[in-house]
Amino acid sequence: MVTKRIDQPTGTETVGHEWDGIEELNTPLPRWWLYTFYATIVWAAVYVVLYPAWPLIDKATAGTLGWSSRGDLAEEMSAADLARQGVVEQIAATDIEKLIASPELMGQAISGGAAAFKVNCVQCHGAGAAGSAGYPNLNDDDWIWGGTLTEIQYSITHGIRWEGADDTRINYMPAFDGMFDAGQVDALAGHVLSLSGKGKTSAAGATLFAENCAACHGPAGGGMPDMGAPALNDAIWLFGGTEAEVKKQILAPRHGVMPAWKDRLDPVTIKMLAAYVHSRGGGQQAAPAQDEVAAETDIAQAPKAETDG
Amino acid sequence: MADNTELERRVPAAGKPRDWAGALGSSAPEIDAADAGHGFLGSDLYEKGKTVHNKRIDGSFRRFKWLVMLVTLAIYYITPWIRWDRGPYAPDQAVLIDLAHRRFYMFDIEIWPHEFYFVAGMLIMAGLGLFLVTSAVGRAWCGYACPQTVWTDLFQHVDRFIDGDRNARIRLDKAPWGPAKIARRSGKWAIYLVISLLTGGAWILYFADAPTLTREFFTGEAALVAYATVGILTGTTFWLGGFMREQVCIYMCPWPRIQTAMLDEKSLIVTYKDWRGEQRGSLKKAAKNPDQYGDCIDCLQCVAVCPTGIDIREGQQIGCITCGLCIDACDKVMAEVGRPRGLIDYATLEQCEAEAAGAPATPAWKALMRPRTFIYFGAWGAIGAAMLFALGTRTHTDLTVSPDRNPPFMLLKDGSVRNAYTLRLRNMEARPRDMEVALTGMPSGAVMWTEAVSLENAAPVQVIAVPANETKVVRAYVMLPPGERADSFSFRLTSLDEQREQDIATTTFAMPGNE
């Protein structure tokens, strides 16, 4: 069946097969092509020895070079750590309130803080740091425990009402359940809401507030960040600002808890987190001379912060 | 033989007294040496490599080839060294692909990443340009301007310079290895290597400041990628230009394949006018039987000078890059034997048929005049004109705004609402510029501030300094006092210089009940 012959018009030998009168000319590939093919085989053989190649039951052969993508990652991570080291040391050596004077360093700190925030903080405060009911919004200008870099850093380091951290920020509002009758609660809630222009005040409500609440929240409801007493005279309410929610908070206050991060994060990361939170739009400047101003008026009027409600 | 049509020549009717196999066998003895590889699976599967030793020739096409080679090589090697003053904020290299800063500089034109459509347009023009050239003058790209052709030509001149012309090179190839051959080969390969190094070296200069990179390259300070690129390009130039040569055109390059689909009977190609040439015969034979023989004296000069080692008399083939050297060779021979030139010539298949049928020879330029060429030219020119127009009318500022989505808005203590935006202010001038950003379409009382401007200085208009040649990213806050409402509004950008270029970016203002 195989009969090779020379094809007359082209002068080329046929491969010797014939299908319904159709024949194929034998036009061989160049030999370098063949060598290229051999080279790929050699390449594959060498590769199989050097690199992970054959799948086994629970892993693949390791290869004599010991290369792995995980190792690559570890190398890149340590290289990145090394590259960051200079900046990290600089941030560590800079007083946190001075950070803001150096836009370059502050920018680095904010970037580092943003990354740490995504890992550690978004679970409660949200990806945009906007919080939710019971979890403070970090973008606004209302700070329960103070909004300067130092105060934010302290809050992150020691946490809020965190058992086991000696220096944690802690306060408890008494539960007034059983101390007031329904009318008194109505009057008090009305007065509290009136502080921010929403409810109707009354003589009874004002009296109840002055006697029971003003010590911490201030006579005008301006709050007191030093002891974590939220401002009641603003538009921001941590546990909601309707009359029912305010009443609920008077009778059975809820108290948020934040872990003390000093045990889990290094001081530089905490510093960077403070810078990031501060940069979200509501950060406050440290007052240069606090002792001159009377505490009460300062808290009530300055654009500093307090919060909650 | 004068009545043969092109078609018949390619597929001779049965019984025609023409011995094609014999003609082939005698026409290219050096090339068609019985070199098929035996023994692989018992069949002739692979062909042993053959070297094309093309003979030196002079003529109009050769001179044109010299000219094109000179111009293209000069452009390639000299361009990175041309300086172009752009002031202190931009590089002074005329042509620079600055990958690190993502800028493409070409004389007065600076392309930014967002203007990549200019590059896309140039690529489309290059593609259409190949179509246009193919339609107008056939495979002229392959024959003259393709880098593979230019460098192969250059390396073949090196061969000629070191080893002598065709016959000397064939002899040397066959000669046993000895001191003389080793000296010649190593000398030749050394020159190959120098050319290859220069070729690979010049390439990287397009991607960084040429004088700096050259100094760094030789002092060992250049980036690893620079050395690797030069190494790879040196290797490929050495291999493709020194050894693979016509094999690239015949086996590797997709372009000849595409061209086989693009050529038609109206395309300008290099043709052997068989109706005039056949029956081939030496002068001696022709003198005895003048009626029996055509003009081709079978001197094989067309084969000897061919850089891809083909026989043009076999008709159109993928190995023919239409460089015209066989035309030079044949014209020279025809002049010597006193016959008219143009036995091998640029012509279309259609013209050949007409000529064979007795029509007078048509000048080759007439092949240019056809609708296809004009349509390609129109499309090519339209894209070019559109790009020039776009280039001439583009502004050198731009503002884009993206509102924060999480949180969409922020309620502040006093009940005012704050939105945060990321502004990107682009300054495409090579100098720093102050740009004014103003709120438009907002109720009075709305103010804006940025990280650089504190809340106390919030105002409806802010001036932002944008560095030269940069896009400045600014986080801006817009605050609406309590009681006011807003929905859609715009940031208006104005450059505070004599140009006063403007851009407007419209965005939304989110607030409670309108998120």
Question: B3-17, pLDDT tens digit by residue?
Answer: 444 333 443 333 333
CA of B51, closest CA in chain A: separation in Å?
12
DSSP conformation letters of B442-497 = --TT-EEEESSS-GGG-BSEEEEEE-TTEEEEEEEEEEE-TT----EEEEEEEESS
Query: Which value does ipTM take for this structure?
Result: 0.73
Length of chain B equals 515
Same domain, B346 and B245: no
* Residue A279 contacts B, CB cutoff 8 Å: yes
Residues of A numbered 74-133 whose beta carbons fall under 8 angstroms of chain B's beta carbons: which are they? 126-130
Strands B46-47 and A29-30: parallel
Model confidence at A244, pLDDT cuts 50, 70, 90, reads very high
- Using the beta-carbon criterion (under 8 Å), do B404 and A128 form an inter-chain contact? yes
Interface size, chain A vs chain B, as Cβ–Cβ contacts under 8 Å: 93
Note whether B335 and B226 are same-domain residues.
no
**Could you tell me if B300 and B209 lie in one domain?**
no
CB B308 within 8 A of CB B319: yes
Q: Is residue B48 part of a domain?
A: no
Residue of B nearest to A143 (CA): B413
CA A60 vs. chain centroid, Å, equals 37
Count of domains observed in chain B: 4
Any B CB within 8 A of A13 CB: yes
Chain B residues in contact with A6 (beta carbon < 8 A):
21
Report the DSSP pairing between strands B269-272 and B109-111.
unpaired
Domain end, chosen from B207, B234, B258, is at: B258
User: Helix H segments across chain A?
Assistant: 31-50, 69-93, 103-120, 122-125, 149-158, 182-194, 203-212, 214-217, 243-251, 267-278, 295-301
Q: How far is A80 from chain B (nearest CA, A)?
A: 19
Domain membership of residue B294 (yes or no) is yes
Give CA–CA dist A270/A255, Å, rounded.
23
Confidence category of residue A2, pLDDT binned at 50, 70, 90: low
User: What 3-state DSSP class applies to B433?
Assistant: strand
What type of residue sits at position B391?
A: L
pLDDT confidence of residue A288 = 62
Residue type, A237: W
- pLDDT for position B27: 39
The arithmetic mean of pLDDT across residues A26-39, rounded, is 88
B231 and B104 in a single domain? The answer is yes
CA torsion sign for A301, A302, A306, A307 is positive
Q: For residue B477, what are the contacts with CB-CB under 8 A and spacing of at least 6? A: A281, B418, B419, B420, B421, B448, B449, B450, B455, B458
Q: Quick check: is B515 in a domain?
A: no
> Which amino acid is residue A48, in one-letter code?
V
Dump pLDDT digits (tens) for A145-170.
999 999 999 999 999 999 988 999 99
Whether A303 has a pLDDT exceeding 60, the answer reads: no
Can you name the residues that pair with A19 across neighbouring β-strands?
Answer: A22
Chain B residues with CB-CB distance to A109 below 8 A: none
User: Of B258, B285, B318, which residue constitutes the final position of a domain?
Assistant: B258
pLDDT at A290 over 90: no
Q: What is the pLDDT of residues B88-107, one digit of tens each?
A: 889 999 999 999 889 999 99
Residue B55 domain-assigned (yes or no): no
| Edge-to-edge order in the sheet of strand A22-25 | A6-7, A12-19, A22-25
B379 found inside a domain = no
Specify the pLDDT at position B44. Answer: 59
- Using beta carbons and an 8 Å cutoff, which residues of B are at the interface with A? 11-12, 20-21, 24-25, 36-37, 40, 44-49, 244, 247, 251, 404-407, 410-415, 418, 420, 451, 455, 477, 482
Residue A12: what pLDDT? Answer: 82
Contact list in B for residue A235 (CB cut-off 8 A) is 411-415, 482
Say whether residue A202 is in contact with chain B using an 8 A CB cutoff.
Answer: no
pLDDT at residue number B14:
38
Yes or no, beta carbons of A128 and B247 under 8 Å apart: no
In this structure, the answer to whether residues B100 and B66 fall within a common structural domain is: yes
Say what the pLDDT of residue A245 is.
94
The residue behind tokens 């050096």 is B30
CA B453 to chain centre: 50
Q: Which residues is B93 bridged to in the sheet?
A: B83
Q: Which of B187, B220, B233, B231 is nearest to B76 (CA)?
A: B233
Model-wide pTM > 0.90: no
Q: Note whether B249 and B165 are same-domain residues.
A: yes
Pairwise CA distance, residues B146 & B249, whole Å: 10
**Bridge partners of residue B436, in order along the sequence:** B463, B494
The reply to whether B286 and B401 lie within a common domain is no
Contact status, residue A162 vs residue A260, Cβ threshold 8 Å: yes
Domain interval for residue B216: 60-258
pLDDT, tens digit, 9 for 90 and up, residues A87-131: 999 999 999 999 888 888 999 999 999 999 999 999 999 999 999
Q: Which residues of B touch A236 (CB under 8 A)?
A: 411-413
A13 neighbourhood in chain B, CB within 8 Å = 44
Give domain status of residue B377, yes or no.
Answer: no
What per-residue confidence (pLDDT) applies to A23? 86
The answer to whether the CB atoms of A235 and B25 lie below 8 A apart is no
Instruction: Report H helices in B205-298.
Output: 210-219, 224-239, 246-247, 255-262, 274-277, 283-288
DSSP 3-state of B269: strand
The pLDDT score that the predictor gives to residue A291 is 46
* pLDDT tens sequence across A54-77: 999 998 888 999 999 999 999 999
Please give, rounded to a whole number of angstroms, the shortest distance from the CA of B236 to a CA of chain A: 14
Q: Tell whether B127 and B238 lie within a shared domain.
A: yes
Report if residue B384 sits inside a domain: no
CA-to-CA distance for A157 and A261, rounded, in angstroms? Answer: 5
B246 & B106 share domain = yes
Q: How many residues does chain A have?
A: 309
Strand order through the sheet with B488-495:
B461-466, B433-440, B488-495, B502-508
**Residue B131 within a domain:** yes
Report the distance separating Cα B246 and Cα B240, nearest Å. Answer: 9
Q: CB distance A31–B404 less than 8 Å?
A: no
Contact at CB, A235 and B47, closer than 8 angstroms? no
Say if residue B320 is in the same domain as residue B342: yes
d(CA A237, CA A193): 11
Burial per residue of B320-355, b for 16 or more beta-carbon CB atoms within 10 angstroms, e otherwise: bbbbbbbbbbbbebbeeeebeebbbbbbbbebbbeb
A9-17: average pLDDT = 82
Q: Return the CATH number at B410.
A: 2.60.40.10
- Report yes or no: B276 and B295 within 8 Å, Cβ to Cβ: yes
The reply to whether B245 and B121 lie within a common domain is: yes
Residues B184 and B302 occupy one common structural domain: no
Low-confidence ranges of chain B (pLDDT < 70): 1-45, 515
Cβ contact B90:B469 at 8 Å: yes
Among B198, B229, B258, residue at a domain's last position? B258
